[in-house]
């Protein structure tokens, strides 16, 4: 059994570019591009390939050697993966998804989303001794826009005077929010999402039902890994929240009793808000004569809803209501009553008395 999953095909070109930079002796690369396009997957395959004792070809780790086994077990001594605490539990040993998205298991005290200076200082342990396995050492770190300023400055020192035979692979969803000094010390490599057809084909190979592939992709903003995670990884949060879609389609015909009986008891507020905001976005778009972006299959129903509303500014008011709810959305308490309140406000948008 090989411990190498096949790399999504749109990552082959950036992998080649990464290997070319490596061969030129570049020691720091910053992978950037939208979330959910496979930057972590790419970074980790590159790291595994650089550490592998007998790569099949450049960029392709063998999956069998001692180094690959350590890598897959998540305890290769010459590899460090530095992420915020908030992502750490989602990335045991081998992160392969880009997006922390799900809040299904949000603990009550929120782990930090920052990469703090201690995490960067911890890297010095890696640098003080020569590589255990005699070759390269690899640091994968991100999202680099989440480095605190002291952490960024500490990292900068490493990038300016790199320890021998050490590769830094930084990952960023929002490169414009990375410190310019960090950016300027790295070779930048953009990872773009594949086109829709390619992405849908890939989703289907990943086990996403063909009927859901397109909609998952649209809702993930075209980011295939995010779409897969939401469609597959038991993301019940998302499918429970989707139970509110029939309610949204009903518009002003919604009753309080129907809302109360059809909103799932365990519904999650952040996921539900996300769906309602996309619905509000589409409703506004349709009211203004544009196409629905997130729910194109509901275009006709959105038209009906938009045309029967006393004033389309009601959607705007509801959208703002959702945004104010979002401020509290990470608290899992009373998710059901918040979602119900938002749906009642939605139905009231059709109330002529306003």
Binding site for Zn ion (CB under 5 A): 52, 61-62, 65, 68
Considering the complex, what minimum distance in angstroms separates the CB of residue 47 from Zn ion?
12
Question: Rounded distance, CA 293 to CA 298, Å?
Answer: 10
Tell me if residue 253 falls in helix, strand or coil: helix
Question: Rounded distance, CA 60 to CA 2, Å?
Answer: 11
Location of structure tokens 């773009």: 192
Q: Tokens at residue 53, please?
A: 């004792």
Closer to Zn ion at the Cβ: 76 or 314?
Answer: 76
Closer to Zn ion at the Cβ: 54 or 192?
Answer: 54
Burial readout 298-326 (b: 16 or more C-beta within 10 A, e: otherwise)? beebbeebbeebeeeebbeebbebbeebe
Location of structure tokens 């998302």: 238
Tell me if residue 140 falls in helix, strand or coil: strand
Question: Rounded distance, CA 216 to CA 203, Å?
Answer: 9
Considering the complex, what minimum distance in angstroms separates the CB of residue 68 from Zn ion?
3
Tell me if residue 170 falls in helix, strand or coil: strand
Considering the complex, what minimum distance in angstroms separates the CB of residue 60 from Zn ion?
9
Considering the complex, what minimum distance in angstroms separates the CB of residue 73 from Zn ion?
13
Closer to Zn ion at the Cβ: 18 or 30?
Answer: 18
Considering the complex, what minimum distance in angstroms separates the CB of residue 2 from Zn ion?
9
Closer to Zn ion at the Cβ: 65 or 117?
Answer: 65
Considering the complex, what minimum distance in angstroms separates the CB of residue 91 from Zn ion?
21
ω into 143 cis (within 30 of 0): yes
Nearest to 230 by CA among 123, 100, 345: 100
Closer to Zn ion at the Cβ: 137 or 228?
Answer: 137
Spatial contact of 334 and 235, defined as CB atoms under 8 Å apart: no
Closer to Zn ion at the Cβ: 52 or 189?
Answer: 52
Considering the complex, what minimum distance in angstroms separates the CB of residue 201 from Zn ion?
29
Nearest to 238 by CA among 196, 273, 201, 282: 273
- Helix or strand (DSSP H, E) at 139: strand 137-141
Closer to Zn ion at the Cβ: 75 or 313?
Answer: 75
């Amino acid at each position: 059994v090989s411990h190498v999953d096949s790399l999504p095909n749109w990552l082959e070109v950036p992998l080649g570019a990464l290997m070319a930079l490596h061969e030129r002796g570049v020691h720091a690369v910053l992978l950037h591009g939208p979330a959910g396009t496979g930057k972590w997957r790419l970074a980790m395959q590159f790291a595994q390939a650089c550490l592998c004792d007998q790569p099949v070809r450049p960029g392709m780790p063998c999956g069998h050697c001692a180094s690959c086994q350590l890598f897959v077990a998540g305890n290769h001594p010459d590899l460090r993966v530095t992420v915020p605490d908030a992502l750490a539990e989602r990335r045991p040993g081998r992160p392969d998804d880009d997006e922390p998205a799900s809040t299904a298991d949000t603990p009550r005290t929120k782990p930090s989303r920052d990469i703090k200076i201690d995490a960067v200082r911890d890297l010095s342990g890696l640098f003080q001794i020569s590589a255990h396995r005699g070759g390269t050492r690899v640091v994968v770190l991100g999202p680099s826009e989440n480095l605190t300023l002291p952490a960024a400055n500490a990292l900068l020192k490493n990038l300016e005077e790199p320890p021998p035979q050490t590769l830094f692979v930084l990952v960023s969803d929002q490169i414009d929010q990375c410190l310019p000094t960090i950016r300027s010390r790295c070779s930048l490599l953009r990872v773009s999402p594949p086109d829709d057809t390619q992405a849908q084909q890939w989703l289907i190979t990943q086990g996403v039902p063909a009927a859901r592939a397109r909609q998952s992709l649209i809702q993930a903003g075209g980011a295939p890994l995010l779409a897969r995670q939401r469609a597959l990884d038991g993301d019940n949060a998302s499918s429970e929240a989707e139970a509110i879609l029939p309610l949204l389609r009903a518009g002003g015909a919604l009753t309080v009793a129907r809302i109360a009986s059809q909103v799932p008891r365990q519904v999650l507020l952040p996921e539900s808000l996300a769906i309602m905001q996309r619905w509000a976005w589409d409703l506004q778009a349709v009211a203004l004569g544009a196409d629905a972006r997130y729910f194109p299959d509901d275009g006709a129903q959105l038209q009906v809803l938009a045309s029967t509303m006393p004033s389309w500014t009601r959607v705007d008011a509801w959208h703002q209501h959702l945004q104010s709810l979002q401020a509290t959305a990470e608290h899992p308490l009373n998710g059901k009553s918040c979602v119900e309140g938002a749906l009642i406000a939605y139905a009231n948008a059709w109330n002529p008395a306003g």
